[in-house]
Chains A and B, each alone.
Chain A
Amino acid sequence: MSETLYPITVEVNGTQRTAQVPARLTLVDWLRDELRLTGTHVGCEHGICGACSVMLDGEPVRACLVYAVQSDGHRVITVEGLVRLDGTLSALQDAFCETHALQCGYCTPGMLVAAQALLNMTPRPSEEQIRDAIGGNLCRCTGYQQIVDAVKLAAQRLAAKS
Chain B
Amino acid sequence: MKAAPFEFVRARSLAEACERLRQHGADAKLIAGGQSLVPMMAMRLTRPAHLIDINEIATLKFIAVEWDAVRIGACTPQRVVERNEALAAQLPLLRQALAWVGHAQTRNRGTVGGSLAHADPAAELPLAAQVLGATLTLRSTRGSRAVAAADFFRGPLTTALEPHECLEAISWPLWKEKHTGSAFTEVSRRHGDFAIVAACAQVAIDDSGKCTRAGFGLAGGGSIPLAFPALAARLVGTRLEDNTIKGAALEAAGAFDPGGDLHASPAYRRHLAEVLVARALRAAHAHARSTR
Contacts and interface: CB of A to CB of B under 8 A. Distances in A.
B109 A25 contact: no
Contacts, number: 91
Contact of B105 (A22, A25, A136): A136
A76 B3 CA distance: 22
Interface string A24-56: 111001000000000000000111001001001
Contacts of A61: 105, 108-109
B151 to A, nearest CB: 30
B106 A23 contact: no
B7 A23 contact: yes
Interface of B: 1-8, 10, 31, 34-35, 38-39, 41-43, 51, 53, 55, 79, 102-106, 108-109, 191-192
A4 B7 contact: yes
Nearest to B80: A59
A56 B108 contact: yes
B39 A46 contact: yes
Contact of A136 (B31, B41, B79, B106): B106
Contacts of A47: 35, 38-39, 106
A26 B105 contact: no
29 contacts: A3-B5, A4-B7, A22-B1, A23-B6, A23-B8, A23-B51, A24-B4, A46-B38, A46-B42, A47-B38, A47-B39, A47-B106, A50-B105, A53-B105, A59-B104, A61-B105, A61-B108, A61-B109, A62-B109, A65-B39, A65-B106, A65-B109, A67-B8, A67-B34, A72-B10, A135-B104, A135-B192, A136-B104, A137-B103
Contacts of A136: 102-106, 192
